[in-house]
Amino acid sequence: MRIAKGGWLRAGIALASGIVVLVISRLTGGALSVILSVFAGFFMLIAGFFIYFFRDPDREYPEGEGIVLSPADGRIMDIVQNRENTTIKIFMSPLDVHIQRAPVSGMIESVEYMPGKFLRAYEPAASLENEKNTIKMRDDKLEQFEVVQIAGIMARRIVCWVKENSRVSRGERIGMIKLGSQVNLKMPSRVRVQVKPGERVVAGVTVVGRE
């Protein structure tokens, strides 16, 4: 299992702390030894959590012309359509893989970070008021797509791995949001939506639209 950048460091620190505390507990006695053993176990659990949270599994994305892949793991919260575009809103729980992937192949037009609040990711106002990072790109047909990384009440850091004028391939890793959050995908209205609210999707695997 691949682990995202920063995961092994955090897990290693927690694991090393647990080992040190465990050794100290063995050198002491009585109630103090028991208390230290509990703390050691706590550090071990933290290490396991970091490995689980930063997991970054390799995936084989579907082949085919004109398909649009989900940019995130999670559950479809809502689908908003108008004459110009369609927005698919995806809620990511703390248990989901938190890596975002490119929905289509193309060029990154811009990356725009905007500070904001940390409302619960499933609240309607979250997509408007929360801290966010908007990745705008055009596919090979020059159609514009947007992936919006939105922080939640627990998510306090958004990471973006792509830059303006760089090229990405469909299914390529483009960023990560740490802890539960929301990811929105905006695509042209002519793209036919292939999912519905309440459905679970997998980044780089689930086909959410067809051009």
Catalytic residues: 181
Closest CA to 44 of 34, 36, 54: 36
* DSSP summary character for residue 25: H
Q: Which of 183, 113, 199 is nearest to 145 (CA)?
A: 183
Q: Which two tokens stand for residue 22?
A: 């465990």
Distance between CA atoms of residues 75 and 53, nearest Å: 17
The string of DSSP letters for 127-178 reads HHHB-EEEEEEEETT--EEEEEEE--SS---EEE---TT-EE-TT-EEEEE-
Ramachandran quadrant class, 50 (left: phi over 0; alpha: psi -120 to 50; beta: rest): alpha
CB contact at 8 A, 208 and 147: no
